[in-house]
Structure 1
Amino acid sequence: MGNRKINVVTMGCSKNVVDSEYLMKQLEVGGWEVVFDSNDTSARVVVINTCGFIADAKEESIDTILSFVEAKKQHQIDKVFVMGCLSQRYREELAEEIPEVDGFFGVTDMPEILRSLNTSISDKHLNQRHITTPSHYAFLKISEGCSWGCSYCAIPLIRGKHVSKPIPDLVEEAQFLVNQGVKEIMLIAQDSTFYGKDIYGERKLPELITELSKVDGLEWIRVHYAYPTGFPMELLTVMRSNPKVCKYIDIPFQHISTNVLKAMRRGINRDETLQFIERLRKEVPEVAIRTTLLVGHPGESEDDFNELLEFVRVMKFDRLGVFAYSEEEGTHSATLPDDVPEEVKQSRVEQIMDLQQQISLENNRLRLGKIFRVIVDREEADYYVGRTEFDSPEVDQEVLIAKNQSVILKSGDFVSCRIVDVADYDLYGELVSYCIL
């Protein structure tokens, strides 16, 4: 291929972002000029990293593939390759339906993708990435796949069983990221709290975080995608005592009704969930909890939903997202009658999010007048925009800091801010002091 410029387009979750970043680094080492998520038609080769998790994501991935196939027909690009979850699960069907694509690859097929691009894999750079997030934060994928088998989830069918990455490799990768200017890392996995069970015989997330915290220049470590069943309670001690560990956890509870949790095959019931949250808040009093819920699962009754609504009302989670159930072929839930009408599912989503909006405003009002350490993410017209340790980038609320003409801030700076006003999902801060790290 004479033109060595390539466009890598990423769909879906942060785990896909990391997969694309690994690929992009290998391409760079192999002599390619890489752009990402671009419409730059001087990049004559496109690799699309697809999502195959839920119906909307599949549709978006297919639409993206078709748009680049059309660009190929118009001779704006020469080659289109497809990788990722959708391609892993539906490779044969996609190849039959969209023959204009030059190659379909699964989630672990990076060597094959590189070979198709006349590029060989560089073992020396396996723990390195081309960072596509803002330079001061990055995701660190600590494992692949999932061994739980929740009834509604297709991830084990797509990405296989849980496979942890060894601690030394992750520390090396974190050091590489910090050398690129990263100050905050988000630990991600399908279940981050299962980390280490497969290679060390026991869960090792607390030990991993302790080792990562020794990397000079790394300021914040944040835990995403925890799982409540079998949670390693030692993690709470690390979170409470290690200043580099954000008092924040993303832990999808999905539901609170024991009936629904059993149908979902979550391995936990209502009482155990409530006991876990009580212990979490007791041992780490300042902790911010982000959770995700799923409504409309087969068999979810009105009573089950009302129980969930009351759970949200009482728990007052700091951050919360809700999905409506959609059937995924090959899962256990797909064998059950999808007996909750679509309009009821959407109504339940809206009821929970309306309630959460009120809770978020109440929680924010408690922060008025308090001073927080804030990392600056970006600059806008009238504000610098940042976050406290209680908020993750891209998914949580932000702190808007009114510009002070005597102080110029840049992304990645840490400042102290007093909260002077609040909104449903935003805080307004006044600069107290700043420290350029």
Structure 2
Amino acid sequence: MKARTLKKDKVNIITLGCSKNLVDSEVLSGQLKANDIDVAHENEVLDHNVVVVNTCGFIDKAKEESIQTILEQVELKRQGELDKVYVTGCLSERYRQDLESEIPEVDAWFGTMELPLILKKFEADYKAELLGERFLSTPQHYAYLKISEGCNRTCSFCAIPLMRGGHVSRPMEDLVKEAESLVKRGVKEIMLIAQELTYYGLDIYKRRALAELLDKLADVPGLEWIRLHYAYPNKFPMEVLEVMRRRPNICNYLDMPLQHASDPMLKAMKRQSTQKEMQELIDQIRATNPGICLRTTLITGFPGETREDVEDLKAFLIKNRFDRVGIFQYSHEENTSAYELKDNIPAAEKQRRAEEIMEVQQEISLEKNMEKIGQTLRVLIDKKEAGRYLGRTEFDSVEVDNEVVVQSDSALLPGDFVMVKITKAYDYDLEGVVVAE
């Protein structure tokens, strides 16, 4: 067993799930560092003695991964490699009572909003003056900015309100201050995240204030790209599009999860929109901002989904030719209203339908990428890998979207912006060569 009693604690934070969880881990890291506690994120050196697992409880696969990670850390503790294992995040928030009895070796469990309680375990104080001070676990040139917490929507499939509570917007001045702090540290791209961006401001300003926030963020010197994730289609604030069109450092990119296109499914999912209404919104968005990149996510295998529903969704994709599409297979979640329905579609059929839908999108994606051959696009370099540079256009977000393989005669660094002439296109990636601006 390792002798650790005289050594200062070193904390390793393991983050599972979405970018919102990642921001929570970064904030925790910043608070620990401010209290002179050594901290790492996804530490590969394995010289730590305390682990905090920030869990995801969104769907079955995410829950399984979270539990497996907890068990792995508990086993390291049993072997004497760790002194303490703490668990926080969505899974812990949702299933704490059950988990405490099933995995008693965990030293403490915390919910999603209990950062001060975690700090107490380290005899550390929450420092409110550290607004926006985070230990970035992303590359230095980009970061996520969480503008609100929780969600007031009642989508029948979604357990997020159970884990994150109701919608709470962060004040604009705090967000601008955090953005300024991030830019000073070298961040060039900020991705706005929330459970739902378009609800921003309704609680604290009594109005939808996303457009106003965007204008203020676009004024931050040195902020090259602002990207919008997770916009709900119902009552979408169209003034956001005007700001996007007017401000050059707001990416012409919108991530708007639609979840389905069949009216029976939309109604069963409690999405508060019909296909006709979504179509009108998409047409209006594209008319207002020609060339905008529209990303959406979909769910397949929802209870009662028929072949007709699947065909309707495929026809909707073919008609609208979204630039980017992600897909989830329906997960039957306790305490959601959809849990009262019979989960009547086998897992293998859910997967088959997801693959069928993505085959449609794959063809659309290839066609859209082929159209870019010969164009010169501004590309942000993310990394060098296997002797080649990988970057993204303003139409691509980190990890979920296309990459551009960049050829350059001169050395490039992560965070560099270069003009790239596209020479080749694939289903989900592009290739190009750097040209003089």
TM-score (norm 2): 0.97
Determine the C-alpha separation between the residues in 2 that align with 1:234 and 1:183.
Answer: 25
* Equivalent position to 1:365, from 366, 370, 382: 370
**2:424 is aligned with 1:421:** yes
* Equivalent position to 1:257, from 254, 262, 265: 262
Determine the C-alpha separation between the residues in 2 that align with 1:30 and 1:383.
Answer: 40
Paired residue secondary structure (2:106):
coil
State the partner residue of 2:8.
3
**2:56 is aligned with 1:51:** yes
Determine the C-alpha separation between the residues in 1 that align with 2:23 and 2:265.
Answer: 33
* Equivalent position to 2:436, from 425, 428, 433: 433
* Equivalent position to 1:153, from 158, 181, 184: 158
* Equivalent position to 1:100, from 88, 102, 105: 105
State the partner residue of 1:84.
89
Determine the C-alpha separation between the residues in 2 that align with 1:41 and 1:214.
Answer: 42
Paired residue secondary structure (1:291):
strand
* Equivalent position to 1:375, from 380, 387, 404: 380
Render the CA deviation track for 1:127-159: whole Å, top value 9, x for unaligned: 211000010000000000000110000001111
State the partner residue of 2:327.
322
Paired residue secondary structure (2:422):
strand
State the partner residue of 1:36.
41
How many corresponding residue pairs?
Answer: 432
Q: Which amino acid aligns with 1:427?
A: L
Determine the C-alpha separation between the residues in 1 that align with 2:414 and 2:199.
Answer: 33
Determine the C-alpha separation between the residues in 1 that align with 2:257 and 2:240.
Answer: 17
Q: Which amino acid aligns with 1:110?
A: L
Determine the C-alpha separation between the residues in 2 that align with 1:44 and 1:265.
Answer: 46
Determine the C-alpha separation between the residues in 2 that align with 1:271 and 1:355.
Answer: 21
State the partner residue of 1:408.
411
Paired residue secondary structure (1:272):
helix
* Equivalent position to 1:174, from 174, 179, 192: 179
Q: Which amino acid aligns with 1:8?
A: I
Render the CA deviation track for 1:367-410: whole Å, top value 9, x for unaligned: 01001111110112332111100000111111111131xx1110
Paired residue secondary structure (1:411):
coil
The unaligned stretches of length 5 or more in structure 2 are none
State the partner residue of 1:165.
170
Cα deviation, residue 49, structure 1:
0.3
Determine the C-alpha separation between the residues in 1 that align with 2:429 and 2:266.
Answer: 32
Cα deviation, residue 301, structure 1:
1.3
Render the CA deviation track for 1:314-348: whole Å, top value 9, x for unaligned: 21111101111110000000001112222221111
Paired residue secondary structure (1:199):
coil
Q: Which amino acid aligns with 1:248?
A: Y
Paired residue secondary structure (1:410):
coil
List aligned pairs for 1:37-436, cutoff 5 A.
37-404=42-409, 407-433=410-436
Q: Which amino acid aligns with 1:127?
A: G
Q: Given that residues 382 and 403 in structure 1 are in contact (C-alpha distance below 8 angstroms), is that contact kept between their aligned partners in structure 2?
A: no
Determine the C-alpha separation between the residues in 2 that align with 1:195 and 1:236.
Answer: 15
Cα deviation, residue 126, structure 1:
3.0
Q: Given that residues 303 and 341 in structure 2 are in contact (C-alpha distance below 8 angstroms), is that contact kept between their aligned partners in structure 1?
A: yes
Determine the C-alpha separation between the residues in 1 that align with 2:132 and 2:348.
Answer: 46
Determine the C-alpha separation between the residues in 2 that align with 1:298 and 1:321.
Answer: 20
Identity level (%)? 51
Cα deviation, residue 307, structure 1:
0.2
Cα deviation, residue 39, structure 1:
4.1
Q: Which amino acid aligns with 1:431?
A: V
The unaligned stretches of length 5 or more in structure 1 are none
Q: Given that residues 3 and 44 in structure 1 are in contact (C-alpha distance below 8 angstroms), is that contact kept between their aligned partners in structure 2?
A: no
Determine the C-alpha separation between the residues in 2 that align with 1:431 and 1:355.
Answer: 32
Q: Given that residues 189 and 224 in structure 1 are in contact (C-alpha distance below 8 angstroms), is that contact kept between their aligned partners in structure 2?
A: yes
Q: Compare 62-71 and 315-324 and name the one that shifted more.
A: 315-324
TM-score (norm 1): 0.97
Q: Given that residues 195 and 230 in structure 2 are in contact (C-alpha distance below 8 angstroms), is that contact kept between their aligned partners in structure 1?
A: yes
Determine the C-alpha separation between the residues in 1 that align with 2:8 and 2:103.
Answer: 24
Determine the C-alpha separation between the residues in 1 that align with 2:72 and 2:202.
Answer: 42
Paired residue secondary structure (2:252):
strand
Q: Which ranges of 4 or more aligned residues in structure 1 deviate by more than 6 Å?
A: none
CA RMSD of aligned residues (A): 1.0
Cα deviation, residue 5, structure 1:
1.2
Q: Given that residues 136 and 181 in structure 1 are in contact (C-alpha distance below 8 angstroms), is that contact kept between their aligned partners in structure 2?
A: yes
